[in-house]
Each structure stands twice: as C-alpha cells, then as structure tokens.
Amino acid sequence: MEKIIIGILTGSLRKDSFSRKIARFLPECMPERFIMVPLEIGGLALYNQDFDDENCPPLEWMTFREQVSGMDGFVFVTPEYNRSMPAALKNALDIASRPFGANRWDGKPGAIISVTIGKLGAFGAYHALQQTLGFLNVHLLQQPEMYLSGAAELFNDKDEITNPSTRRFLGDFAKTFSSWVLRMKTN
C-alpha cells in the first residue's frame, strides 16, 4: 500500500514548546500508511526576493522547497504570538511559495492546530494562518477546528498527553484528516 507523507510544521522554535509536544504526539494517532515528517523551519534565512531574482537562493531554502514539494499534505501546529502566527512559520510559507509561479504548497491538503496556555485556543494565530494558507491554495480541513487551550496542563513530566479528552480530540482529528488527505489524493 502506498505510503502518504505528511509534513508537520511547528510554529514555535522553542525545543520544549507545547506546539512541538503536540506535533510529536500526532504520528501515534495516524493510520499506519501515513508517515509524518517534521519540517524544521528555524534555520531558514529570512525571505528576500533578491536571492530568487538573482537565481542564488540559500541552500537551506532550496532544501526546504524540495521537502515541501515531496509532501502529500501538511499539518501546521502553531502557538499565537501577538494575535497572529509566529514569524518563523510565515517565513517558511513565503519561502516555499516563491519564486512567483513556483508555489510548492499549491493544491495540497492541510490542517491547522493552534495551541496556547491561555483560554482562547490561539484563535488569532489559527485564523491568520488560515488566511495565508487559503491564498497559497492549501486545501484546508475545515472541521474539526483544532484550538487547544490550557496546554500547560495537558502533559505530564514525560511530555505525554494525560488529558483523556485531548487524546480523543487529537485521535478524532487524525482520523478525519487522514480521510481528507485520501479524498484529496483521489480527486
């Protein structure tokens, strides 16, 4: 059976971020034929169109663009910074959508999970990311909307999710997302 490769992009660069902990848990929830690959974005130089115009993009941009091109879909796990997505995540989206006419996100399925220690579930980040991904023609899973609040209380000291309802919620998300990806691949 053909393997489905899903890239996971984590908006937080902090090694112990709650977003990263959620991203590490997701592969456990996915069907066996799905392989989830973390796409690291912290080492990407800031996007500057001059590099593309002069045909000399940094090596890390070219590598990242190839990685994105090779994925069958994406899950974006993000915290909220000042009611929006982190700059590192927006930078990664810009890099793989350029140069003009070479959008590597185009037409691929995706989903967003926003994570916060607060009560609003990183609502602002979710919708800012949703707006950008819509423009990039990522076919986003609309339901369930994945807002995770109170992230500091979700994990034990081994970074395992201990909240049963959160585990079920993520499991239901994985089932729905995997069906979404398969449906997109057959269309």
- Per residue of the chain (187 residues), what is the pLDDT tens digit? 799 999 999 999 998 999 999 999 999 999 999 999 999 999 999 999 999 999 999 999 999 999 999 999 999 999 988 898 999 999 999 999 999 999 999 999 999 999 988 776 688 899 999 999 999 999 999 999 999 988 989 999 999 999 899 999 999 999 999 999 999 988 7
d(CA 186, CA 184) in angstroms, rounded, equals: 5
Give the model confidence (pLDDT) of 45-58 as tens digits.
999 999 999 999 99
DSSP per residue over 18-34, as a string? HHHHHHHHHHHHS-TTE
Helices in the chain by DSSP H: which ranges?
Answer: 18-29, 49-53, 59-69, 87-97, 123-135, 164-186
pTM of the model as a whole: 0.95
Domain 4-186: give its CATH superfamily. Answer: Flavodoxin domain (3.40.50.360)
Q: Which of 33, 55, 51, 150 is nearest to 94 (CA)?
A: 51
Confidence (pLDDT) at 120: 66
Strand partners, 104: none
